[in-house]
């Protein structure tokens, strides 16, 4: 737990309905700064939805999510939460990076423009400084030579590495990865995972929804297993993966072998 | 086995499409006869065409047509974006208002709308600017002096265009993948910034071709304002031939200028499309490819021969080594 007894990221009693479908059924999760957490589970278990509630891309139906004690996406009045205005929400989201399954690079901008756009526009970083930073992050993800090309000319793995650099350029406090390698050809998965592994080694706080068990085992501190909208099992990765205690976790790992 | 390594490789010649060539030849002959007949028929009065081509009244008509087109399209496109955003807003009142506007302006004849705006003064004789429900009045004047023929024409054309173009803009916005908006939001862009910086530039790619159509259509629709005495190109041409009875030549003069303006717009549109197609992979321009084709094919043929010779030589070496 981080200083002053305020957890870095605290998720408490989060429920989410899509119409009548109860997608998240009371999620409680605390994340310390610098932790790498992998969220595993079958498709439809709610793991992507949970990730998307953390930067309020998905509004929650009940419960609270707080980063450094600051409620994300809502403000509290009496015993109710009210949605934040667009400007306040956008400001909060600058602290939470997100990497998508489909990359979602901006196709009408070059790689460099993709990375410098938000720092310049949102954080008012001067153009030259933003560009220097962008080149620094491109080097970090091994894409220095592609700064001036458009995303469509890149492979999926390269696009995802640029997307990670774009996220890093906002200097976020944590990064959410939503199945970052699921849309990639098998031979391109490794290059993205090794960039993520490097990030973890640098101390970035990461929440990763993934199907890559090897990555989870090698990199993550904590593994969370979701099933039917609940966290069925959670603990140090080596414990959860080598000796799962719950039926749901045992079934999940058994189905993969 | 020894490979057949001749020094002169057998090259496959490109296929010749005789049907297409014959069709092209027939079309060229027909075109030739048509041009010859137009050029030699004295009733086209080409001398009169030449006389009126740069007539001051014609040129001022060209200017008015350009002004009307440009301003009406600006009103139209701004209105279209507002209507499209209203339609996509999810607020029932805004959605219904936008839909009703489009329904009304697309559903009534443009000519009626032009006459309506032109004779607005008959419906509302006084133009009053004040706070509704109070006696506070900032400004009042006869409607006909505030909304003259030009302004009326502009309102009629622009408000009508907004209805049509809003559907084009809406299609453009819907064509942008929702993941783009989510990525923009996750980077801390507010919805309005995401719309301006991410969604609209990408929507432009889809919007420009039909909007180019609309501008060219508008160029000629402006001629409808003759009914409220706007002095556009066609109206001025008509007012000349009403006195001189040189109807055909003046219509040719007007058509010439419309064609010139349309050509300029088409070139501008092509440039815009290239600009907004940045980062999109698409097939090369067919005509440019055709012009380059001959030299390209020769180069390719040479490269092919060289490459075949090399690989033959390599396989010979391999055979020798065996």
- Span A108-122, mean pLDDT? 96
pLDDT of A184 strictly over 60: yes
| Cβ contact, residue pair B183, A106, below 8 Å | yes
Preferred mutation among B90, B180, B185, B188 to probe A, highest tally of A CBs within 10 A: B188
Query: Containing H/E element for B8?
Result: none
Q: Is the pLDDT of residue A3 over 60?
A: no
Tell me whether residue B12 is in a domain.
no
Q: Is residue B2 part of a domain?
A: no
Give chain B positions within 8 Å (CB) of A57: 182, 185-186
Q: Which residues of chain B have pLDDT under 50?
A: none
Domain of residue B157, residue span: 56-281
Which residues of chain A lie closer than 8 angstroms to B182, CB-CB?
Answer: 57, 98, 100, 104
More confident position, A133 or B281: A133
Kindly list the residues from chain A whose CB atom is less than 8 angstroms away from the CB atom of residue B202. 106-108
For chain A, what is the mean pLDDT?
Answer: 94
Residue B144: what pLDDT? 74
CATH number, domain with residue A98:
3.40.50.300
Q: What total of structural domains would you count in chain A?
A: 1
Whole-number pLDDT of residue B287 = 64
Q: Do the chains contact at B183 and A104, CB–CB below 8 Å?
A: yes
Cβ atoms of residues B219 and B261 within 8 Å: yes
Q: What is the pLDDT of residue B5?
A: 52
Q: Is residue B115 part of a domain?
A: yes
> What is the pTM (predicted TM-score) of this model?
0.80
Mean pLDDT, rounded, for A96-109: 96
CATH number at residue B179: 1.10.3720.10
Per CB-CB distance under 8 Å, the chain B contacts of A94 are 187-188
In a domain, B64, yes or no: yes
Q: Go through B133-156 and write b for each residue having 16 or more CB atoms within 10 A of its CB, e for each that does not.
A: eeeeeeeeeebbeebbbbebbbbb
- State whether B188 and A93 contact (CB < 8 Å): yes
CA-based nearest distance B267→chain A, Å: 22
**Amino acid A240: pLDDT:** 93
CA of B293 vs chain A CAs: smallest distance (Å): 25
Nearest CA in chain A to B204: A108
CA distances from A162 to A17, A158, A175, A234 (A): 33, 6, 14, 31
Domain membership of residue B248 (yes or no) is yes
Confidence of residue A1 (pLDDT cuts 50, 70, 90): very low
Output phi, psi for A119, to 5 deg.
-55, -40
Q: Quote the DSSP letter at residue B128.
A: E
3-state SS string for chain A = CCHHHCCCEEEEEEEEEECCEEEEEEEEEEECCCCEEEEEECCCCCHHHHHHHHCCCCCCCEEEEEECCEECCEEEECCEEEECCHHHHHHHHCCEEEECCCCCCCCCCCHHHHHHHHHHHHCCCCHHHHHHHHHHHHHHCCCHHHCCCCHHHCCHHHHHHHHHHHHHCCCCCEEEEECCCCCCCHHHHHHHHHHHHHHHHCCCEEEEECCCHHHHHHHCCEEEEEECCEEEEEEEHHHHHHCCCCHHHHHHHHHHC
For residue B120, is it within any domain?
A: yes
Nearest to B188 among A90, A106, A163 (CB): A90
Q: What is the pLDDT of residue B132?
A: 80
More confident residue, B299 or A66: A66
Chain B hits for A87, Cβ within 8 Å: 190
Q: Does residue B7 belong to any structural domain of this protein?
A: no
A97 touches chain B (CB under 8 A): yes
Whether chain B has a CB inside 8 Å of the CB on A120: the answer is no
Residue B16 has a pLDDT of 86
d(Cα A103, Cα A165) in Å, to the nearest integer? Answer: 11
In a domain, B16, yes or no: no
Please report the pLDDT score of residue A4 as a whole number: 61
Return d(Cα B41, Cα B167) in angstroms, integer: 46
Minimal Cβ distance to A121: which of B177, B186, B193: B193
Cβ-contact B190, A86 below 8 angstroms: yes
Task: List residues of B whose CB lies inside 8 A of any A CB.
Answer: 177, 179-180, 182-193, 197-198, 201-202, 205, 276, 278-281
Q: How many domains does chain B have?
A: 1
């Amino acid at each position: 737990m981080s200083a002053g007894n305020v957890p870095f990221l605290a998720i408490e009693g989060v429920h989410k309905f899509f119409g009548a479908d109860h997608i998240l059924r009371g999620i409680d999760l605390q994340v310390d700064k610098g932790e790498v957490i992998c969220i595993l589970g079958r498709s439809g278990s709610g793991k992507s939805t949970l990730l998307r509630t953390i930067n309020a891309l998905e509004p929650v139906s009940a419960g609270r999510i707080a980063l450094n004690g600051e409620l994300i996406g809502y403000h509290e009045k009496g015993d109710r939460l009210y949605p934040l205005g667009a400007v306040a929400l956008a400001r909060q989201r600058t602290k939470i990076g997100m990497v998508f399954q489909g990359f979602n690079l901006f196709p009408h901008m070059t790689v460099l423009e993709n990375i410098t756009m938000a720092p310049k526009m949102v954080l008012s970083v001067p153009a030259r400084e933003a560009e220097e930073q962008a080149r620094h992050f491109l080097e970090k993800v091994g894409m220095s030579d592609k700064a001036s090309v458009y995303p469509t000319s890149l492979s999926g793995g390269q696009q995802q590495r640029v997307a990670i650099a774009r996220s890093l350029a906002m200097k976020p406090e944590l990064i959410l990865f939503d199945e970052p390698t699921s849309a990639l050809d098998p031979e391109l998965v490794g290059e993205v995972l090794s960039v993520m592994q490097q990030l973890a080694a640098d101390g970035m706080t990461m929440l990763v929804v993934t199907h890559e068990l090897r990555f989870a085992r090698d990199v993550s501190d904590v593994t969370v297993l979701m099933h039917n909208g609940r966290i069925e099992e959670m603990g140090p990765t080596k414990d959860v993966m080598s000796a799962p205690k719950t039926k749901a976790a045992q079934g999940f790992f058994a189905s993969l072998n | 086995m020894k490979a057949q390594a001749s020094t002169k490789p057998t090259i496959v010649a490109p296929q010749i499409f005789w049907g297409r060539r014959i069709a092209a030849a027939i079309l060229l002959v027909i075109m030739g006869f048509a041009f010859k007949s137009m050029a030699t028929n004295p009733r086209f009065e080409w001398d009169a065409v030449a006389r009126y081509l740069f007539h001051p009244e014609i040129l001022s008509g060209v200017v008015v047509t350009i002004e009307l087109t440009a301003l009406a399209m600006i009103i139209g496109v701004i209105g279209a974006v507002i209507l499209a955003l209203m339609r996509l807003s999810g607020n029932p009142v805004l959605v219904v208002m936008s839909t009703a506007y489009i329904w009304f302006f697309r559903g009534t004849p443009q000519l009626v709308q032009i006459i309506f705006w032109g004779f607005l003064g008959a419906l509302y004789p006084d133009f009053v600017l004040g706070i509704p429900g109070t006696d506070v009045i900032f400004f009042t004047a006869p409607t006909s002096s505030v909304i003259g023929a030009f302004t009326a024409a502009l309102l009629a054309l622009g408000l009508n265009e907004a209805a049509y173009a809003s559907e084009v803009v809406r299609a453009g916005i819907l064509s942008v993948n929702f993941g783009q908006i989510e990525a923009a939001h996750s980077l801390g862009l507010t919805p309005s910034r995401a719309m301006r910086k991410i969604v609209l530039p990408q929507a432009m790619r889809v919007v420009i071709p039909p909007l180019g159509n609309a501008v060219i259509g508008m160029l000629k629709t402006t001629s409808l304002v003759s009914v409220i005495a706007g002095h556009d190109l066609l109206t001025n041409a008509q007012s000349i031939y009403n006195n001189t009875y040189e109807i055909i030549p003046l219509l040719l003069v007007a058509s010439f200028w419309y064609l010139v303006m349309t050509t300029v717009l088409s070139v501008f549109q092509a440039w815009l499309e290239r600009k907004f197609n940045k980062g999109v992979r698409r097939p090369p321009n067919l005509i440019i490819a055709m012009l380059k084709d001959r030299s390209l094919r020769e180069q390719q043929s040479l490269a092919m021969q060289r490459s075949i010779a090399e690989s033959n030589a390599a396989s010979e070496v391999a055979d020798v080594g065996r």
